[in-house]
Amino acid sequence: MLLINDRDRLDWRDGMTVQEMLDKMPAALAADWMVSAWDQNTVIRNATPGVSGVEEVAASWLIDLLGLPSQSGVGFVTGATMANFTGLAAARHQVLTAAGWDLDRDGLAGGPRVTVLVGEDRHATVDLALRYLGLGEPTTVAADEQGRIRPDALASALVGVQGPVIVALQAGNLHSGAFDAFGQCTRLAHDHGAWVHVDGAFGLWACASPALRHLVDGVEAADSWATDAHKTLNPPYDCGIAVVADPNALRAAFGLQASYLTHAGDHVEMFERVPEFSRRARGVPVWAALQSLGRSGVADLIDTMARNARAISAGLATVAGAEILNDVVFTQVSVSFGTDERTRAVTGRLLADGTTWMSGSRWRGRDVLRVSVSNWSTDADDVAASIDAVRRAARS
């Protein structure tokens, strides 16, 4: 029975080997089943103290593991789209309040225009979240050849903006895996009074790897972060995470009053951190994943994925006519096979073969075969089989 109130009894288990880690990963799946069987509504601590306690522990472990500000508010949502929505909702509320506009009373109409600056190669779901929030289309800022927002272009864009501003940065470009220059961009944005949000759906997990942490240098200075557990950490789907440095900004965006909701003191309740009200205890599988892996197990998991991506890239580079288009810094590889037509044909044959799944996509004006290493169980044999499958598809 998982009824967790004593944080000391839940300490990290260090020193697991990769093999042990792979064996133990099903803990998150089992926890997810238990969440369904328990059917606890994770709204307020007074009503469901067990699952709320587990989520609190998972939240504190997460911000410790990712090196984010310790007082941050954490909301467990369905995925990174809703985590982006959650962080950007807190941002919208805060920048409008700072501009003297009462969003809750007056809505958006007639208020100051909120400018949202995004890199031109951001993920489409950032735009979707902005649509949900009524903020319209973002203003795009030029990106470099890896898809990173250009700090010089961001500086120029900020100079031209009047009124409330939000800057959305990216940890992990879906084609290249590239990371924005967080330290420099966040300083520029904060100098202009902007809120900085980071979409780190899969890439924020680089924070948890000592070997890869340099990729996210300075990310902790942002104001909000979105990530997925279901991508990199690998509990079952329905597991995104929103983190906001100022928990009161989260409460300001999502809090509500109702006579039957008995708050536990000053505690920011579960429902005050997420867009939903009733919801499953989706933080429990996160707790189980972290408990079973430990700090070093999570780092191994991420390092193994990145190592597999490098091995796939090295293998694909030996396939006749293949060109790796990105610097493989994390878990993504984009490859072209000369013409767009041939790239599409190779992709089609690979998917028909069925040995491995890589997606067709289009990046920087070219068709690509896109690899995203994101399964916890991918091993060297899978990598070799995948490379062989691409080689066959490229030969046919």
Ligand X SMILES: Cc1ncc(COP(=O)(O)O)c(C=O)c1O
Q: Which residues bind ligand X (CB under 6 A)?
A: 79-81, 123, 125, 172, 174, 199, 201-202, 228, 240
Token look-up 């003297």 returns: 100
Cβ neighbors of 45 (< 8 A, separation 6 or more) are 52, 53, 264, 267, 269, 270
Residue nearest to ligand X (CB): 79
Q: Can you tell me whether residue 301 is helix, strand or coil?
A: helix
Please, which residue, 174 or 249, has the CB nearer to ligand X? 174
Residue nearer to ligand X on the CB measure, 40 or 374? 374
DSSP string, 168-210: EEEBS-TTT--B--HHHHHHHHHHTT-EEEEE-TTGGGGGG-T
Minimum CB separation of residue 344 from ligand X in Å reads 21
For residues 119 and 315, which CB has a smaller minimum distance to ligand X in the complex?
A: 119
For the bound state, the minimum distance from the C-beta of residue 124 to ligand X, rounded and expressed in Å, comes to 8
3-state secondary structure at position 279: coil
Contact indicator for 293, 21 with CB cutoff of 8 Å: yes
What is the helix (H) or strand (E) element at residue 370, kind and residue range? strand 366-372
Q: Which is nearer to ligand X, 109 or 124 (CB)?
A: 124
Cβ atoms of residues 156 and 129 within 8 Å: no
CB 348, min distance to ligand X, A: 22
* Cα–Cα distance for residue pair 181/146, rounded to 1 Å: 12
DSSP code for 43:
S
Q: Minimal CA–CA distance to 225: which of 244, 249, 250, 202?
A: 244
- Residue among 123 and 150 whose Cβ is closer to ligand X: 123
Distances from the Cα of 300 to the Cαs of 17, 63, 65, 247, in angstroms? Answer: 8, 18, 13, 30
Closer by beta carbon to ligand X, 149 or else 252: 149
Closer residue to ligand X, CB minimum distance, 93 or 123: 123
Q: How far is the CB of 361 from ligand X (least distance, A)?
A: 11
Rounded Cα–Cα distance for residues 58 and 371 (Å)? 30
The nearer residue to ligand X, 24 or 123, going by C-beta atoms, is 123
Token pair 């609190």 in the structure block, residue: 56
| Cα–Cα distance measured from residue 173 to residue 202, given in angstroms and rounded to the nearest whole number | 9
Distance in Å, CB of 75 to ligand X, minimum: 14
Would you say 309 or 393 has its CB closer to ligand X? 309
Min separation Cβ 117 and ligand X, Å = 17
Q: Give the number of C-alpha atoms closer than 13 A to the C-alpha of residue 69, restricted to the C-beta side.
A: 16
Angle made by CA atoms 383, 385, 390, in degrees to the nearest 5: 95
Q: How far is the CB of 103 from ligand X (least distance, A)?
A: 24
Nearest to 41 by CA among 280, 240, 259, 255: 280
| Min dist. Cβ of residue 272 to ligand X (A) | 22
Shortest distance, position 384 Cβ to ligand X, whole Å:
26
Query: Smaller CB distance to ligand X: residue 228 or 303?
Result: 228
Give the nearest distance from C-beta 279 to ligand X in angstroms: 16
Residue type, 25: M
